[in-house]
Amino acid sequence: MARKVEVVPFSEQWAEQFRCEADKMKDVFQNGCVEIYHIGSTSVPGMRAKPIIDIMVEVHNLDEVDRFNKQMAELGYEALGEHGIAKRRFFRKGGEERTHHVHVFQKGSEHIERHLAFKEYMVAHFDQAKEYSKLKQMLAQQFPLDIGSYTEGKDPFIKKEEQEALTWYRKRRKGESSAAETD
């Protein structure tokens, strides 16, 4: 069965849904967890998105994550291993009617910076977020039963904006570090 591609208006409930799941993740990963982040389009105020909450868990040791698969399953998550991205553990909840994705990376992974940069850039740059939102809505209408084509259609925009986002994010962080050093 083809998974329906649905892009919906922003919901204030997404932040609460993230917090609820993040609390559960803290209980599962305990001391192995460094930080838990709400990422993806549902984390950007005002952005249209597929109603799937993306959660990124930063851990001290990725090799230990697999031992939590049973606890994640008890929370309704399916463990999918790396699922196409090396040095990641991926979990999804809701089967074909997905509600949550959990991306687990080890501290220091370039993927952590990439995800945080893109999110923060979209939050700070409303015009780009609005353009991305329109693109997603158009692609969902064009490919309502073809998630692959929907994803492919977003790829050029994401790659371009991700490079801008990383440059912006690194400059901003460098500025914050410099300011902290002078305090």
- Cα Rg of the chain (Å, integer): 17
Q: Read off the pLDDT of residues 108-148 as tens digits, 9 standing for 90 and up.
A: 999 999 999 999 999 999 999 999 999 999 999 999 999 99
Q: Read off the pLDDT of residues 103-113 as tens digits, 9 standing for 90 and up.
A: 999 999 999 99
Spell out the residues 6+ positions from residue 56 whose beta carbon is closer than 8 angstroms to its own. Answer: 36, 37, 39, 102, 103, 104, 105, 112, 115, 116
User: Does the domain formed by 13-173 have CATH 1.10.240.10?
Assistant: no
Q: pTM for this one?
A: 0.92
- Are 170 and 26 in contact by the 8 Å Cβ rule? The answer is no
Domain positions in the chain are 13-173
